[in-house]
Amino acid sequence: MKANVRKLTVDDIPAIDVEGLNGKSLVEYGYYKVSLSENPEIYCYARDFGGLKPEEIGPYLYVEKSKYFGDILKIDIAAIKNDERRNTIKLIPVVFVEDVPGMNAKIFQNLETKKYYYRLSSYPREKFARWMTCEKRKGEWQSLSEIRANILFSLDGQVEKVTCTNWNGPAVYEENFNKAFEKANYLVECLGCENIIDLAYCGREDHMSECPFCGFVYDLDPETMTEKDIAEIFKEEN
């Protein structure tokens, strides 16, 4: 699609306000008005072109049919951000550091740069996780900026990938979600042989966990077990 792109000016404010938007702030934040060359009636306001110059945006425009609002012009930011030529694939090897108290989140550390990452998870409700940089301030982990598309996190050879969608930004979505990151710290000393094993990888077909060294069977389903379940078993048996 061919696009007309122009920066908003103060002259646009009254017309934007009529649409129910805040014209003044759109102008202040440097928004553009994007419309189709062949149909300037369909347009959108945009600020973030995913790193593209305004004149490069044409191929990423699409028209969405809306029941209530008619045709809406949209920019496929996800396609731009997931483009591996634009955002190259990068592998970051990490180790587990600790859980974040009160949150379904874990801290990991970059093995090479020693930087910390915050992984906030929606599992088991849904296979979704968001990675962010973070640091510890006054004893509490604070997430900072989100991780871009096409970053792969690697934990002991287990990998999950960050990609972008147009509705939810860069995150790990179902197809790239890796449960190994959920149970990164399920390391225990086997009750049968005293080897250190990771219960996350000890699943059997009958939904039990089994030590790969001695065959000791734990009454735990690696798909659904929680740290509390594990603590219970080890409390009972000891």
Q: Which residues make up the interface to Zn ion (CB under 5 A)?
A: 190, 192-193, 211, 213-214, 216
Could you tell me the smallest distance in angstroms from the CB atom of residue 142 to Zn ion?
39
Could you tell me the smallest distance in angstroms from the CB atom of residue 193 to Zn ion?
3
Nearer to Zn ion, 54 or 192 (CB): 192
Residue 75's Cβ-count burial label (10 Å; 0-12, 13-18, 19+) is buried
For tokens 């030590």, the residue is 211
Nearer to Zn ion, 144 or 187 (CB): 187
Nearer to Zn ion, 79 or 214 (CB): 214
Nearer to Zn ion, 21 or 214 (CB): 214
Could you tell me the smallest distance in angstroms from the CB atom of residue 231 to Zn ion?
18
* CA 223 to mean position of chain CA atoms: 21
Could you tell me the smallest distance in angstroms from the CB atom of residue 212 to Zn ion?
8
Q: What is the largest CA-CA distance in the chain?
A: 77
Could you tell me the smallest distance in angstroms from the CB atom of residue 218 to Zn ion?
10
Could you tell me the smallest distance in angstroms from the CB atom of residue 155 to Zn ion?
22
Query: How far apart are the C-alpha atoms of 131 and 161, rounded to whole Å?
Result: 10
Could you tell me the smallest distance in angstroms from the CB atom of residue 189 to Zn ion?
9
Nearer to Zn ion, 58 or 192 (CB): 192
Question: Six-digit token pair at 132?
Answer: 């962010």
Nearer to Zn ion, 164 or 190 (CB): 190
Residue 50's Cβ-count burial label (10 Å; 0-12, 13-18, 19+) is buried
Nearer to Zn ion, 89 or 193 (CB): 193
